[in-house]
Chain A
Amino acid sequence: MSGTKVYIIGVGIHNFGRTDGVSGLDQGVFAVRQALADAGVTWQDIQFAYGGSDSAGNPDTMVDRLGLNGTQFINVKNGCATGGSALFSAQMAIKSGEFDLGLAVGFDKHPRGAFDAKPAEYNLPEWYGDAGYMVTTQFFAAKIMRYMQLHGISRRTLGMVAEKAFLNGVHAPHAWRREPVDLDVILNAPMVSDPFTKFMFCSPGEGGVALVLASEKKMRELGATPIQLAAATMRTRPPGSFEVFAPSIDIGGGVNTATRLASAAAFDIAGIAPADIDVAQLQDTEAGAEIMHMAENGFCADGEQEAWLAEGRTRIDGRLPVNTDGGCLACGEPIGASGLRQVYENVIQLRGAGGGRQVPGNPLTAYSHVYGAPGVSAVTILKR
Protein backbone atom coordinates (compact mmCIF):
# COMPACT_ATOMS: atom_id res chain seq x y z
CA MET A 1 0.00 0.00 0.00
CA SER A 2 1.57 3.25 -1.09
CA GLY A 3 1.35 6.57 0.71
CA THR A 4 1.01 7.28 4.40
CA LYS A 5 -1.12 5.07 6.61
CA VAL A 6 -4.60 6.36 7.45
CA TYR A 7 -6.19 6.15 10.90
CA ILE A 8 -9.72 6.65 12.21
CA ILE A 9 -9.30 8.73 15.35
CA GLY A 10 -12.86 9.88 16.04
CA VAL A 11 -16.36 8.51 15.46
CA GLY A 12 -19.84 9.93 15.92
CA ILE A 13 -23.36 8.72 15.23
CA HIS A 14 -26.90 10.08 15.37
CA ASN A 15 -29.39 7.39 16.35
CA PHE A 16 -30.85 5.52 13.38
CA GLY A 17 -34.59 5.06 12.90
CA ARG A 18 -37.09 7.92 12.89
CA THR A 19 -36.35 11.30 14.46
CA ASP A 20 -39.26 13.59 13.70
CA GLY A 21 -38.39 17.27 13.61
CA VAL A 22 -34.66 16.76 13.00
CA SER A 23 -33.50 17.07 9.39
CA GLY A 24 -31.12 14.56 7.84
CA LEU A 25 -28.51 17.31 7.61
CA ASP A 26 -28.80 18.08 11.32
CA GLN A 27 -28.40 14.40 12.12
CA GLY A 28 -25.18 14.58 10.12
CA VAL A 29 -24.08 17.69 12.04
CA PHE A 30 -24.81 15.91 15.33
CA ALA A 31 -22.59 13.02 14.25
CA VAL A 32 -19.80 15.39 13.15
CA ARG A 33 -19.74 17.20 16.50
CA GLN A 34 -19.62 13.89 18.36
CA ALA A 35 -16.81 12.61 16.14
CA LEU A 36 -14.78 15.82 16.59
CA ALA A 37 -15.17 15.62 20.38
CA ASP A 38 -14.26 11.92 20.29
CA ALA A 39 -11.07 12.75 18.37
CA GLY A 40 -10.24 15.70 20.64
CA VAL A 41 -10.15 18.16 17.74
CA THR A 42 -12.33 21.06 16.62
CA TRP A 43 -13.95 21.90 13.30
CA GLN A 44 -11.27 24.60 12.93
CA ASP A 45 -8.62 21.83 12.83
CA ILE A 46 -10.35 19.91 10.00
CA GLN A 47 -8.61 20.45 6.64
CA PHE A 48 -11.18 18.75 4.39
CA ALA A 49 -14.45 16.84 4.37
CA TYR A 50 -16.28 14.44 2.08
CA GLY A 51 -20.00 14.23 2.75
CA GLY A 52 -22.63 11.87 1.35
CA SER A 53 -26.43 11.92 1.25
CA ASP A 54 -28.83 10.32 -1.20
CA SER A 55 -32.00 12.28 -0.50
CA ALA A 56 -31.49 14.68 2.41
CA GLY A 57 -29.79 17.62 0.73
CA ASN A 58 -26.28 18.82 -0.04
CA PRO A 59 -23.86 17.80 2.72
CA ASP A 60 -21.58 20.83 2.29
CA THR A 61 -24.39 23.13 3.44
CA MET A 62 -23.58 21.94 6.97
CA VAL A 63 -20.70 24.43 7.09
CA ASP A 64 -23.46 26.88 8.11
CA ARG A 65 -23.79 24.95 11.35
CA LEU A 66 -20.16 23.97 11.85
CA GLY A 67 -18.46 27.28 11.08
CA LEU A 68 -17.54 29.23 7.97
CA ASN A 69 -13.79 28.72 7.96
CA GLY A 70 -13.44 27.97 4.26
CA THR A 71 -12.70 24.24 4.73
CA GLN A 72 -12.72 22.19 1.52
CA PHE A 73 -15.98 20.17 1.49
CA ILE A 74 -16.86 17.79 -1.38
CA ASN A 75 -20.28 16.19 -1.81
CA VAL A 76 -20.55 12.53 -2.76
CA LYS A 77 -23.61 10.82 -4.21
CA ASN A 78 -23.06 7.22 -5.29
CA GLY A 79 -26.19 5.19 -4.55
CA CYS A 80 -25.85 2.63 -1.78
CA ALA A 81 -22.07 3.08 -1.88
CA THR A 82 -22.38 6.79 -1.00
CA GLY A 83 -20.88 6.45 2.49
CA GLY A 84 -18.19 4.05 1.32
CA SER A 85 -17.30 6.40 -1.53
CA ALA A 86 -17.01 9.37 0.84
CA LEU A 87 -14.69 7.34 3.07
CA PHE A 88 -12.65 6.09 0.09
CA SER A 89 -12.19 9.66 -1.13
CA ALA A 90 -11.25 10.93 2.33
CA GLN A 91 -8.56 8.30 2.85
CA MET A 92 -7.13 9.09 -0.60
CA ALA A 93 -6.73 12.72 0.41
CA ILE A 94 -4.58 11.65 3.37
CA LYS A 95 -2.68 8.82 1.61
CA SER A 96 -1.66 11.24 -1.13
CA GLY A 97 -0.01 13.48 1.45
CA GLU A 98 -2.26 16.42 0.54
CA PHE A 99 -3.84 16.61 4.02
CA ASP A 100 -3.33 15.27 7.57
CA LEU A 101 -6.76 15.57 9.15
CA GLY A 102 -10.22 15.26 7.60
CA LEU A 103 -13.75 14.08 7.88
CA ALA A 104 -16.07 11.59 6.17
CA VAL A 105 -19.75 12.15 6.96
CA GLY A 106 -22.94 10.55 5.71
CA PHE A 107 -26.59 11.09 6.56
CA ASP A 108 -30.05 10.54 5.16
CA LYS A 109 -33.75 10.82 5.85
CA HIS A 110 -36.06 8.74 3.62
CA PRO A 111 -39.85 8.72 3.53
CA ARG A 112 -41.63 5.68 4.97
CA GLY A 113 -42.06 2.55 2.85
CA ALA A 114 -39.99 1.04 0.06
CA PHE A 115 -37.66 3.21 -2.02
CA ASP A 116 -39.49 4.57 -5.07
CA ALA A 117 -37.09 4.37 -7.95
CA LYS A 118 -37.93 5.64 -11.45
CA PRO A 119 -37.00 3.70 -14.62
CA ALA A 120 -35.31 6.70 -16.27
CA GLU A 121 -32.87 7.00 -13.36
CA TYR A 122 -31.59 3.53 -14.24
CA ASN A 123 -31.62 3.82 -18.04
CA LEU A 124 -34.67 1.52 -18.25
CA PRO A 125 -37.78 1.85 -20.46
CA GLU A 126 -40.99 3.27 -18.98
CA TRP A 127 -42.94 0.00 -19.36
CA TYR A 128 -40.59 -1.60 -16.85
CA GLY A 129 -41.88 0.73 -14.16
CA ASP A 130 -45.50 0.48 -15.37
CA ALA A 131 -45.24 -3.31 -14.97
CA GLY A 132 -44.31 -3.00 -11.29
CA TYR A 133 -40.68 -4.07 -11.56
CA MET A 134 -39.02 -0.98 -10.00
CA VAL A 135 -39.19 -2.75 -6.65
CA THR A 136 -35.82 -3.60 -5.08
CA THR A 137 -37.27 -6.37 -2.91
CA GLN A 138 -38.06 -8.45 -6.03
CA PHE A 139 -34.37 -8.65 -6.88
CA PHE A 140 -33.23 -9.68 -3.42
CA ALA A 141 -36.00 -12.29 -3.22
CA ALA A 142 -35.30 -13.76 -6.67
CA LYS A 143 -31.54 -13.83 -5.99
CA ILE A 144 -31.88 -15.75 -2.70
CA MET A 145 -34.62 -18.02 -4.09
CA ARG A 146 -32.19 -19.40 -6.66
CA TYR A 147 -29.29 -19.43 -4.18
CA MET A 148 -31.36 -21.47 -1.68
CA GLN A 149 -32.15 -24.06 -4.33
CA LEU A 150 -28.58 -24.30 -5.66
CA HIS A 151 -26.84 -24.36 -2.27
CA GLY A 152 -29.31 -25.95 0.14
CA ILE A 153 -30.15 -22.94 2.31
CA SER A 154 -33.39 -23.29 4.29
CA ARG A 155 -35.96 -20.62 5.08
CA ARG A 156 -35.28 -21.29 8.76
CA THR A 157 -31.69 -20.11 8.23
CA LEU A 158 -33.00 -16.85 6.76
CA GLY A 159 -35.13 -16.49 9.89
CA MET A 160 -32.09 -17.06 12.11
CA VAL A 161 -30.26 -14.19 10.40
CA ALA A 162 -33.11 -11.84 11.31
CA GLU A 163 -33.39 -13.27 14.83
CA LYS A 164 -29.67 -12.59 15.40
CA ALA A 165 -29.98 -9.05 14.02
CA PHE A 166 -32.73 -8.11 16.48
CA LEU A 167 -30.86 -9.77 19.39
CA ASN A 168 -27.75 -7.71 18.60
CA GLY A 169 -29.77 -4.52 18.12
CA VAL A 170 -30.96 -4.74 21.73
CA HIS A 171 -27.42 -3.82 22.84
CA ALA A 172 -26.72 -1.10 20.23
CA PRO A 173 -27.86 2.34 21.46
CA HIS A 174 -27.94 3.69 17.88
CA ALA A 175 -30.15 0.85 16.52
CA TRP A 176 -33.76 1.45 15.44
CA ARG A 177 -35.25 -1.95 16.40
CA ARG A 178 -34.15 -2.81 19.92
CA GLU A 179 -36.53 -5.63 20.83
CA PRO A 180 -35.82 -9.31 20.23
CA VAL A 181 -38.23 -11.12 17.88
CA ASP A 182 -38.90 -14.86 18.20
CA LEU A 183 -37.81 -17.04 15.31
CA ASP A 184 -41.35 -18.41 14.90
CA VAL A 185 -42.77 -14.90 14.73
CA ILE A 186 -40.20 -14.00 12.05
CA LEU A 187 -40.95 -17.13 10.00
CA ASN A 188 -44.74 -16.92 10.28
CA ALA A 189 -45.13 -13.17 9.68
CA PRO A 190 -46.88 -11.92 6.51
CA MET A 191 -44.89 -12.67 3.36
CA VAL A 192 -43.62 -9.56 1.54
CA SER A 193 -41.76 -11.12 -1.37
CA ASP A 194 -41.26 -14.89 -1.19
CA PRO A 195 -39.27 -16.30 0.64
CA PHE A 196 -39.04 -13.18 2.82
CA THR A 197 -41.49 -12.14 5.53
CA LYS A 198 -41.70 -8.56 6.74
CA PHE A 199 -39.15 -9.20 9.52
CA MET A 200 -36.55 -10.30 6.97
CA PHE A 201 -36.34 -6.92 5.19
CA CYS A 202 -34.82 -3.68 6.45
CA SER A 203 -36.65 -0.39 5.99
CA PRO A 204 -35.43 2.92 4.60
CA GLY A 205 -34.80 5.14 7.62
CA GLU A 206 -32.83 8.06 9.02
CA GLY A 207 -29.47 8.57 10.64
CA GLY A 208 -26.04 10.18 10.44
CA VAL A 209 -22.46 9.00 10.94
CA ALA A 210 -19.14 10.86 10.93
CA LEU A 211 -15.55 9.62 11.03
CA VAL A 212 -12.43 11.73 11.68
CA LEU A 213 -9.44 10.50 9.67
CA ALA A 214 -5.80 11.31 10.33
CA SER A 215 -2.36 10.61 8.90
CA GLU A 216 0.03 8.54 11.02
CA LYS A 217 1.93 11.71 11.99
CA LYS A 218 -1.24 13.51 13.06
CA MET A 219 -2.55 10.44 14.90
CA ARG A 220 0.66 10.27 16.98
CA GLU A 221 0.67 14.02 17.58
CA LEU A 222 -2.85 13.76 19.03
CA GLY A 223 -2.08 10.59 21.00
CA ALA A 224 -5.13 8.82 19.57
CA THR A 225 -5.90 5.08 19.78
CA PRO A 226 -4.46 3.81 16.51
CA ILE A 227 -7.17 2.12 14.48
CA GLN A 228 -5.82 1.84 10.97
CA LEU A 229 -7.98 1.97 7.86
CA ALA A 230 -5.96 -0.80 6.21
CA ALA A 231 -8.07 -0.93 3.04
CA ALA A 232 -11.00 0.89 1.46
CA THR A 233 -12.23 -0.21 -1.96
CA MET A 234 -15.22 0.48 -4.19
CA ARG A 235 -16.11 -1.47 -7.32
CA THR A 236 -18.83 -1.54 -10.01
CA ARG A 237 -20.31 -4.69 -11.53
CA PRO A 238 -18.47 -7.24 -13.70
CA PRO A 239 -19.95 -8.89 -16.85
CA GLY A 240 -22.75 -11.40 -16.23
CA SER A 241 -23.70 -10.15 -12.79
CA PHE A 242 -27.33 -10.20 -11.56
CA GLU A 243 -28.31 -6.81 -10.16
CA VAL A 244 -31.27 -4.80 -8.96
CA PHE A 245 -33.61 -3.81 -11.84
CA ALA A 246 -32.38 -6.38 -14.39
CA PRO A 247 -34.78 -7.02 -17.31
CA SER A 248 -32.34 -9.71 -18.49
CA ILE A 249 -29.29 -11.63 -17.27
CA ASP A 250 -26.56 -13.34 -19.30
CA ILE A 251 -26.79 -17.13 -19.47
CA GLY A 252 -24.55 -18.50 -16.71
CA GLY A 253 -24.75 -15.15 -14.95
CA GLY A 254 -25.38 -14.27 -11.35
CA VAL A 255 -22.10 -15.59 -10.01
CA ASN A 256 -19.61 -12.75 -10.42
CA THR A 257 -20.50 -9.63 -8.43
CA ALA A 258 -19.18 -6.18 -7.61
CA THR A 259 -18.85 -7.47 -4.04
CA ARG A 260 -16.41 -10.21 -5.05
CA LEU A 261 -14.24 -7.62 -6.84
CA ALA A 262 -14.29 -5.08 -3.99
CA SER A 263 -13.62 -7.78 -1.40
CA ALA A 264 -10.68 -9.38 -3.23
CA ALA A 265 -9.10 -5.97 -3.80
CA ALA A 266 -9.48 -5.03 -0.12
CA PHE A 267 -7.89 -8.25 1.14
CA ASP A 268 -5.05 -7.75 -1.34
CA ILE A 269 -4.40 -4.19 -0.16
CA ALA A 270 -4.62 -5.10 3.54
CA GLY A 271 -2.39 -8.14 3.02
CA ILE A 272 -4.62 -10.46 5.04
CA ALA A 273 -7.14 -13.23 4.28
CA PRO A 274 -10.81 -13.70 5.24
CA ALA A 275 -9.78 -16.17 7.97
CA ASP A 276 -7.84 -13.34 9.66
CA ILE A 277 -10.97 -11.20 10.20
CA ASP A 278 -12.32 -11.08 13.77
CA VAL A 279 -15.62 -9.22 13.20
CA ALA A 280 -17.60 -8.32 10.07
CA GLN A 281 -20.45 -6.01 9.09
CA LEU A 282 -22.03 -7.30 5.85
CA GLN A 283 -24.79 -5.63 3.86
CA ASP A 284 -28.05 -7.17 5.10
CA THR A 285 -30.82 -5.20 3.43
CA GLU A 286 -32.64 -8.47 3.90
CA ALA A 287 -31.79 -11.77 5.56
CA GLY A 288 -30.75 -13.42 2.29
CA ALA A 289 -28.18 -10.74 1.51
CA GLU A 290 -26.22 -11.50 4.67
CA ILE A 291 -26.17 -15.20 3.73
CA MET A 292 -24.97 -14.61 0.17
CA HIS A 293 -22.53 -11.88 1.19
CA MET A 294 -20.82 -14.24 3.65
CA ALA A 295 -19.73 -16.26 0.62
CA GLU A 296 -19.21 -13.37 -1.82
CA ASN A 297 -16.81 -11.73 0.65
CA GLY A 298 -14.84 -14.95 0.97
CA PHE A 299 -15.73 -15.95 4.54
CA CYS A 300 -17.26 -19.33 3.60
CA ALA A 301 -18.07 -21.49 0.60
CA ASP A 302 -21.54 -21.41 -0.98
CA GLY A 303 -23.87 -23.55 1.12
CA GLU A 304 -21.77 -23.57 4.29
CA GLN A 305 -23.96 -20.81 5.73
CA GLU A 306 -26.58 -23.40 6.67
CA ALA A 307 -24.15 -25.02 9.14
CA TRP A 308 -22.62 -21.68 10.20
CA LEU A 309 -26.00 -20.33 11.32
CA ALA A 310 -27.06 -23.60 12.95
CA GLU A 311 -23.81 -23.59 14.96
CA GLY A 312 -24.09 -19.89 15.85
CA ARG A 313 -20.76 -19.03 14.22
CA THR A 314 -21.92 -15.52 13.27
CA ARG A 315 -23.34 -14.63 16.71
CA ILE A 316 -21.47 -12.20 18.99
CA ASP A 317 -19.67 -15.11 20.70
CA GLY A 318 -19.10 -17.06 17.45
CA ARG A 319 -15.99 -17.53 15.36
CA LEU A 320 -16.93 -14.65 13.03
CA PRO A 321 -19.53 -12.31 14.56
CA VAL A 322 -21.53 -10.67 11.74
CA ASN A 323 -23.54 -7.45 12.03
CA THR A 324 -22.86 -6.90 15.70
CA ASP A 325 -25.14 -3.85 15.97
CA GLY A 326 -28.02 -5.63 14.21
CA GLY A 327 -27.02 -4.38 10.75
CA CYS A 328 -29.54 -2.86 8.38
CA LEU A 329 -32.24 -5.22 9.67
CA ALA A 330 -32.14 -3.62 13.14
CA CYS A 331 -30.81 -0.16 12.20
CA GLY A 332 -32.73 0.53 8.97
CA GLU A 333 -31.05 1.91 5.87
CA PRO A 334 -30.45 5.65 5.52
CA ILE A 335 -28.46 5.26 2.30
CA GLY A 336 -25.85 7.98 2.85
CA ALA A 337 -25.10 6.87 6.42
CA SER A 338 -25.44 3.11 6.21
CA GLY A 339 -21.94 2.15 5.02
CA LEU A 340 -20.32 4.51 7.53
CA ARG A 341 -22.42 3.00 10.35
CA GLN A 342 -20.70 -0.31 9.65
CA VAL A 343 -17.28 1.34 10.00
CA TYR A 344 -18.45 3.14 13.17
CA GLU A 345 -19.51 -0.19 14.65
CA ASN A 346 -16.16 -1.75 13.74
CA VAL A 347 -14.25 1.06 15.46
CA ILE A 348 -16.39 0.57 18.59
CA GLN A 349 -15.65 -3.17 18.50
CA LEU A 350 -11.89 -2.69 18.02
CA ARG A 351 -11.83 -0.23 20.91
CA GLY A 352 -13.58 -2.84 23.08
CA ALA A 353 -16.41 -0.37 23.73
CA GLY A 354 -19.30 -2.52 22.48
CA GLY A 355 -20.90 -3.09 25.91
CA GLY A 356 -23.51 -5.84 25.73
CA ARG A 357 -22.66 -6.51 22.08
CA GLN A 358 -18.87 -6.48 22.48
CA VAL A 359 -17.13 -9.28 20.60
CA PRO A 360 -15.00 -11.17 23.16
CA GLY A 361 -11.28 -11.94 22.81
CA ASN A 362 -9.91 -8.50 21.88
CA PRO A 363 -10.69 -8.36 18.13
CA LEU A 364 -7.78 -6.98 16.08
CA THR A 365 -9.31 -6.85 12.59
CA ALA A 366 -12.73 -5.75 11.33
CA TYR A 367 -14.41 -5.87 7.91
CA SER A 368 -17.29 -3.88 6.41
CA HIS A 369 -19.22 -4.32 3.17
CA VAL A 370 -22.04 -2.47 1.41
CA TYR A 371 -23.83 -3.37 -1.82
CA GLY A 372 -26.46 -1.55 -3.81
CA ALA A 373 -28.06 -0.63 -7.12
CA PRO A 374 -27.08 -0.76 -9.90
CA GLY A 375 -24.27 -3.11 -8.89
CA VAL A 376 -21.88 -1.17 -6.66
CA SER A 377 -20.00 -2.41 -3.64
CA ALA A 378 -17.66 -0.85 -1.07
CA VAL A 379 -15.44 -2.68 1.43
CA THR A 380 -13.20 -1.55 4.29
CA ILE A 381 -10.76 -3.41 6.52
CA LEU A 382 -9.69 -1.97 9.87
CA LYS A 383 -6.73 -3.10 12.00
CA ARG A 384 -5.86 -2.31 15.57
Chain B
Amino acid sequence: MTQSLFTTEVPPRLIGGRDRATGRIVFPHPGSDTFDAVPLGRHGTLWSYTVQRFRPKTPPYQGPADFTPWVVAYVEIPGEVIVEARLVDVDFDAITIGMPVEFCTVALDPSVEGSMLLPAFRPTAGGAA
Protein backbone atom coordinates (compact mmCIF):
# COMPACT_ATOMS: atom_id res chain seq x y z
CA MET B 1 0.00 0.00 0.00
CA THR B 2 1.26 3.48 -0.81
CA GLN B 3 1.81 5.63 2.24
CA SER B 4 0.84 9.31 1.92
CA LEU B 5 3.77 11.76 1.78
CA PHE B 6 2.11 14.27 4.13
CA THR B 7 0.27 14.30 7.46
CA THR B 8 -3.35 15.50 7.36
CA GLU B 9 -2.76 18.33 9.87
CA VAL B 10 -2.67 22.00 8.76
CA PRO B 11 -0.04 22.87 7.81
CA PRO B 12 1.10 19.34 6.97
CA ARG B 13 4.40 17.64 7.74
CA LEU B 14 6.32 15.00 5.80
CA ILE B 15 5.83 11.38 6.77
CA GLY B 16 8.98 9.28 7.00
CA GLY B 17 9.50 5.66 7.90
CA ARG B 18 11.40 4.53 11.01
CA ASP B 19 12.95 1.09 10.73
CA ARG B 20 11.60 -0.85 13.72
CA ALA B 21 14.79 -2.88 14.02
CA THR B 22 17.42 -0.14 13.71
CA GLY B 23 15.63 3.18 14.30
CA ARG B 24 16.98 4.49 10.98
CA ILE B 25 14.61 7.01 9.36
CA VAL B 26 14.02 7.10 5.61
CA PHE B 27 11.81 9.13 3.29
CA PRO B 28 9.35 8.37 1.81
CA HIS B 29 7.85 5.62 3.99
CA PRO B 30 8.79 2.43 2.13
CA GLY B 31 5.26 1.01 2.47
CA SER B 32 6.59 -2.00 4.39
CA ASP B 33 5.30 -3.01 7.81
CA THR B 34 8.85 -3.15 9.16
CA PHE B 35 8.78 0.67 9.18
CA ASP B 36 6.68 2.84 11.52
CA ALA B 37 5.23 6.04 10.02
CA VAL B 38 6.75 9.11 11.69
CA PRO B 39 6.04 12.81 11.02
CA LEU B 40 9.28 14.63 10.23
CA GLY B 41 10.38 17.98 11.69
CA ARG B 42 9.38 21.20 9.90
CA HIS B 43 12.78 22.87 10.20
CA GLY B 44 16.12 22.02 8.72
CA THR B 45 19.22 23.29 6.95
CA LEU B 46 20.18 23.11 3.30
CA TRP B 47 22.54 20.13 2.83
CA SER B 48 23.05 20.56 -0.90
CA TYR B 49 21.16 21.58 -4.07
CA THR B 50 21.25 22.14 -7.80
CA VAL B 51 19.13 24.10 -10.27
CA GLN B 52 17.34 21.97 -12.88
CA ARG B 53 17.85 24.15 -15.97
CA PHE B 54 16.26 21.98 -18.67
CA ARG B 55 12.89 20.25 -18.84
CA PRO B 56 13.21 16.60 -17.73
CA LYS B 57 11.94 13.99 -20.18
CA THR B 58 8.24 13.11 -20.25
CA PRO B 59 7.50 10.42 -19.29
CA PRO B 60 8.05 10.32 -16.43
CA TYR B 61 8.10 14.12 -15.72
CA GLN B 62 4.56 15.52 -15.32
CA GLY B 63 5.38 19.20 -14.80
CA PRO B 64 4.16 22.01 -17.08
CA ALA B 65 5.11 21.87 -20.76
CA ASP B 66 6.23 25.48 -20.46
CA PHE B 67 9.36 24.92 -18.36
CA THR B 68 10.91 27.31 -15.90
CA PRO B 69 13.98 26.17 -13.91
CA TRP B 70 13.48 24.96 -10.34
CA VAL B 71 15.73 24.04 -7.43
CA VAL B 72 16.06 20.48 -6.19
CA ALA B 73 17.50 20.45 -2.70
CA TYR B 74 18.60 18.08 0.04
CA VAL B 75 17.52 19.31 3.46
CA GLU B 76 18.91 17.96 6.72
CA ILE B 77 16.18 17.63 9.34
CA PRO B 78 18.20 17.50 12.58
CA GLY B 79 18.35 14.10 14.25
CA GLU B 80 16.11 12.54 11.59
CA VAL B 81 17.11 12.32 7.95
CA ILE B 82 18.22 14.31 4.87
CA VAL B 83 15.30 14.59 2.41
CA GLU B 84 15.13 15.53 -1.26
CA ALA B 85 12.62 18.31 -1.99
CA ARG B 86 12.06 21.47 -3.99
CA LEU B 87 13.49 24.74 -2.64
CA VAL B 88 11.08 27.62 -3.32
CA ASP B 89 10.65 31.35 -2.67
CA VAL B 90 14.37 32.06 -3.11
CA ASP B 91 16.62 33.71 -5.72
CA PHE B 92 19.03 31.16 -7.18
CA ASP B 93 21.93 33.50 -6.35
CA ALA B 94 20.87 33.73 -2.70
CA ILE B 95 21.06 29.98 -2.02
CA THR B 96 23.80 28.88 0.38
CA ILE B 97 24.48 25.46 1.82
CA GLY B 98 23.67 25.50 5.54
CA MET B 99 20.89 28.10 5.25
CA PRO B 100 17.90 27.49 7.56
CA VAL B 101 14.75 26.34 5.76
CA GLU B 102 11.22 25.35 6.70
CA PHE B 103 8.83 22.81 5.23
CA CYS B 104 6.05 23.72 2.79
CA THR B 105 4.46 22.17 -0.27
CA VAL B 106 4.48 23.26 -3.92
CA ALA B 107 2.14 22.31 -6.76
CA LEU B 108 3.83 20.36 -9.55
CA ASP B 109 1.86 22.46 -12.05
CA PRO B 110 0.43 25.61 -10.42
CA SER B 111 -1.72 26.34 -13.49
CA VAL B 112 -3.73 23.14 -12.96
CA GLU B 113 -6.42 22.91 -10.26
CA GLY B 114 -5.67 19.99 -7.93
CA SER B 115 -2.17 19.44 -9.30
CA MET B 116 -0.07 17.02 -7.27
CA LEU B 117 1.67 18.60 -4.28
CA LEU B 118 5.40 18.03 -3.89
CA PRO B 119 7.49 18.26 -0.72
CA ALA B 120 9.28 21.62 -0.61
CA PHE B 121 11.20 23.91 1.70
CA ARG B 122 11.59 27.70 1.74
CA PRO B 123 14.01 30.01 3.56
CA THR B 124 12.94 30.29 7.19
CA ALA B 125 11.05 33.54 7.84
CA GLY B 126 13.39 35.98 9.57
CA GLY B 127 16.36 33.78 8.69
CA ALA B 128 16.51 31.91 12.01
CA ALA B 129 15.66 28.23 12.41
Interface residues of A (CB under 8 A from B): 113-114, 116, 118-119, 125-127, 129-135, 137-138, 141-143, 145-146, 149, 190-195, 246-251, 253
Interchain CB contact (< 8 A) of A113 among B2, B27, B47, B57: B57
Cβ-defined contact, B116 with A127, below 8 A:
yes
* A193 & B61 in contact (Cβ 8 Å cutoff): no
Residue B88 lies at the interface, judged by CB distance under 8 Å to chain A = no
* Total B residues in contact with A, Cβ cutoff 8 Å: 41
**In the complex, B38 has a CB within 8 A of chain A:** no
In contact, A146 and B47 (Cβ under 8 angstroms): yes
Residues of chain A with a CB closer than 8 A to B2's CB = 125
A-B contact pairs, 26 of them (CB 8 A): A125-B2, A127-B5, A127-B116, A127-B118, A129-B61, A130-B62, A132-B56, A132-B70, A135-B52, A137-B50, A138-B72, A142-B48, A142-B49, A142-B50, A146-B48, A149-B48, A192-B53, A193-B53, A247-B83, A247-B84, A248-B25, A248-B84, A249-B47, A250-B82, A251-B82, A253-B82
When A and B form their complex, what is the total count of cross-chain residue pairs whose Cβ atoms lie within 8 Å?
106
Docked pose: A116 CA to B58 CA in angstroms: 9
B76 touches A251 (CB 8 A): yes
Query: Which chain B residue has the least Cβ–Cβ distance from A123?
Result: B30
Residue ID in chain B nearest A115 by CB atoms: B57
Q: Closest CB of chain B to A144's CB: distance in Å?
A: 9
| Chain B residues whose C-beta falls within 8 Å of the C-beta of A149 in the assembled complex | 48, 97
Q: Which has the most chain B C-beta neighbours within 10 Å: A113, A118, A145?
A: A145
* B83 neighbours in A (Cβ, 8 Å): 247-248
Asked if B60 contacts A119 (CB within 8 A), the reply is: yes
CB of B97 within 8 A of CB of A130, answer no
B67-94 residues at the A interface, CB under 8 angstroms: 70, 72-74, 76, 78-84, 86, 92
The 6 closest A-B pairs by CB, nearest first: A129-B60, A141-B50, A146-B48, A248-B27, A130-B62, A249-B82
